[in-house]
Amino acid sequence: MPRILLQSAHILHSRAYRDTSLIIDVLTENYGRIALVARGARRAKSQWQALLQPFRKLLISWSSKGDLGTLTSAEHDGEIVWLKGSSLISGLYVNELIMRLMHRDDAHPQLYVSYQCLLLSMYKISQHEAGTRFDVERVLRVFERDILREFGYGLVLDHDVRSGDHIKPDCSYYYYPEEGPVETNAASTQQSAVLIQGKSLISLQQGCLDDEASLREAKRLMRAMLNRVLGNKPLNSRELFRSNR
């Protein structure tokens, strides 16, 4: 039975298993998303009860046999990240998004780095008195851009897909989710098309989104792209967003 030792990891989701155990879905740097049984983790005196929480960076070891491995050890790895408010809800949304898009046992080291950067950014926002929903939304849009690219659904943000011209900040575009942006004076609108300004496309490409209009348009575009990839099954965490408004 293969044994994997001291891998950097984050808990994405957990659920009860039998009387006292958990099945945890874990994002790892080198092995992708894996599922493990944490035996006895629900017992009152379990050493893992307070440890196996979302967003904490861990070093874990496990033994693997088939699709479901067994957690053998876990320990903190660095500073504990506590999310609260809109950062917490956004973190749950990101975890669910990864669960929906990422197949098990498919390593994406760059996504792991992006995920850690996102958690650190949201932690700083949640700890800062001046941190706002605007700040959280900006971080989310950039992560959504990155995760779509990582799984082969990258957005075209730098040129008009029909003319080949560079995106012009002062022009309007229809963004077709299955194709890319086309300047409005050269395209007919369709139900699936998202109207967006060139400035917003450039801002999303650069990862800045430093004004309300660009952020609002980027959110509308990312929602259309994610809906195309995710299909008709809604994300449960989106209901938390609505109820928290």
pTM attached to this predicted model: 0.90
pLDDT of residue 242: 59
Whole-angstrom distance, CA of residue 219 vs CA of residue 204: 10
Whole-angstrom distance, CA of residue 243 vs CA of residue 156: 33
Buried b (16+ CB within 10 A) or exposed e, 195-212: ebbbbbbbbbeeeebeee
2 confidence band (pLDDT: 50, 70, 90): confident
Mean pLDDT of the region 211-230? 94
pLDDT of residue 172: 95
* Percent of the chain residues past pLDDT 90, beyond the cut: 71
Whole-angstrom distance, CA of residue 23 vs CA of residue 26: 10
Residue 214's alpha-carbon distances to 117, 125, 224, in angstroms, are 22, 20, 15
State yes or no: pLDDT of 25 exceeds 80.
yes
Q: What is the tens place of the pLDDT at every residue in 155-181?
A: 999 999 999 999 999 999 999 999 999
Residue range(s) occupied by CATH 2.40.50.140 in the chain? 3-76
Residue type, 185: N
Contact 74, 48 (CB under 8 A): yes
117 confidence band (pLDDT: 50, 70, 90): very high
Average pLDDT over the chain reads 90
State yes or no: pLDDT of 59 exceeds 70.
yes
Contact 114, 31 (CB under 8 A): no
Residue range(s) occupied by CATH 1.20.1440.120 in the chain? 85-243
Residue type, 194: V
pLDDT of residue 165: 96
Contact 14, 22 (CB under 8 A): yes
Whole-angstrom distance, CA of residue 63 vs CA of residue 1: 6
Q: Are strands 32-38 and 68-76 parallel, antiparallel or unpaired?
A: parallel
State yes or no: pLDDT of 244 exceeds 80.
no
Whole-angstrom distance, CA of residue 17 vs CA of residue 70: 12
Q: Comparing 238 with 66, which gets the higher pLDDT?
A: 66
State yes or no: pLDDT of 66 exceeds 90.
no
State yes or no: pLDDT of 231 exceeds 90.
no
9 confidence band (pLDDT: 50, 70, 90): very high
Helix, strand or coil for residue 169?
coil
Phi/psi of residue 21, nearest 5 degrees: -110, 175
Whole-angstrom distance, CA of residue 133 vs CA of residue 98: 22
In Å, the largest CA–CA distance within the chain is: 66
User: What CATH number should be reported for the domain whose range is 85-243?
Assistant: 1.20.1440.120
Residue 40's alpha-carbon distances to 2, 19, 35, 49, 72, in angstroms, are 22, 8, 16, 9, 11
Mean pLDDT of the region 23-28? 96
pLDDT of residue 162: 92
Q: Regarding the domain with residue range 3-76, which homologous superfamily does it belong to in the CATH classification?
A: Nucleic acid-binding proteins (2.40.50.140)
State yes or no: pLDDT of 133 exceeds 70.
yes
pLDDT of residue 239: 64
Q: Which residues pair with 102 in a beta bridge?
A: none
Mean pLDDT of the region 6-11? 95
Q: What is the tens place of the pLDDT at every residue in 148-162?
A: 999 999 999 999 999
Whole-angstrom distance, CA of residue 14 vs CA of residue 3: 22
